[in-house]
Amino acid sequence: MIDPDPHEDDRGRFMRVWCAREFAQYRIDFTPVQANMGFSARKGTVRGMHFQEAPALEAKLVRCTRGAIFDVVLDLRTESPSYGKWYGTELSAINGRMLYVPEHCAHGYQTLEEDTEMYYMTSGFYAPTAVRGVRFNDPAFSIQWPLAASVVSEQDRNWPLFECRTHS
């Protein structure tokens, strides 16, 4: 979780959304190569849980620029003490928080408001053949989404259950 340090005055607010020096201080090796925006019209929309496999691994820095989301990172790093665990938090245009998603972790979110917009930077280029996913409602993880899912893509509804997957 990255909490911004905004500068506010009568004009509004200014804050950095990425700084190599600050990331280096926290020992996070992240160099963005691509920036993406996503828009969801309906409250309750779920997108995820997505990741890219080697050789197209990617880390992400995620931010909500309009509306609000419940953002989730699922640790799929087999050597990690938090393997198989998820972390969720609210990101909104108002709180300005950002979430860093390491390589080998799945990412997804649910919109908490209508007309929600996301902005995220990735350390790797989009590689359709490397895209994988974990079902958003997989009982192996029991992610506690705050709302009933109103819209979920066919792909996200049909990712295989994790326990049936081959791990590498």
pLDDT digit string (tens) for the chain, length 168 residues: 777 677 788 998 887 888 888 888 888 889 999 999 999 999 999 999 999 999 999 999 999 999 999 999 999 999 999 999 999 999 999 999 999 999 999 999 999 999 999 999 999 999 999 999 999 999 999 999 999 999 999 999 999 998 745 444
How confident is the model at residue 4, as a pLDDT?
A: 67
Is residue 97 a contact partner of residue 42, using CB atoms and an 8 Å limit? no
**DSSP three-state, residue 68:** strand
CB environment 23-41: b (16+ within 10 A), e (fewer): beeeeeebebeeeeebebe
How confident is the model at residue 26, as a pLDDT?
A: 83
Residues taking part in catalysis: 50, 120
**Residues whose CB is less than 8 angstroms from the CB of residue 60 and which lie 6 or more positions away in sequence, other chains included:** 100, 101, 107, 120, 121, 122, 123
How confident is the model at residue 81, as a pLDDT?
A: 95
How confident is the model at residue 167, as a pLDDT?
A: 47
Domain at 7-164: CATH code: 2.60.120.10
CA separation for the pair 15, 30 (Å, rounded): 19
How confident is the model at residue 19, as a pLDDT?
A: 84
**pTM to 2 decimal places:** 0.90
How confident is the model at residue 50, as a pLDDT?
A: 97
Q: Which residue ranges make up each domain of the chain?
A: 7-164
Displacement of CA 25 from its chain's centroid (Å): 22
How confident is the model at residue 74, as a pLDDT?
A: 98
DSSP-assigned beta bridge partners for residue 106: 74
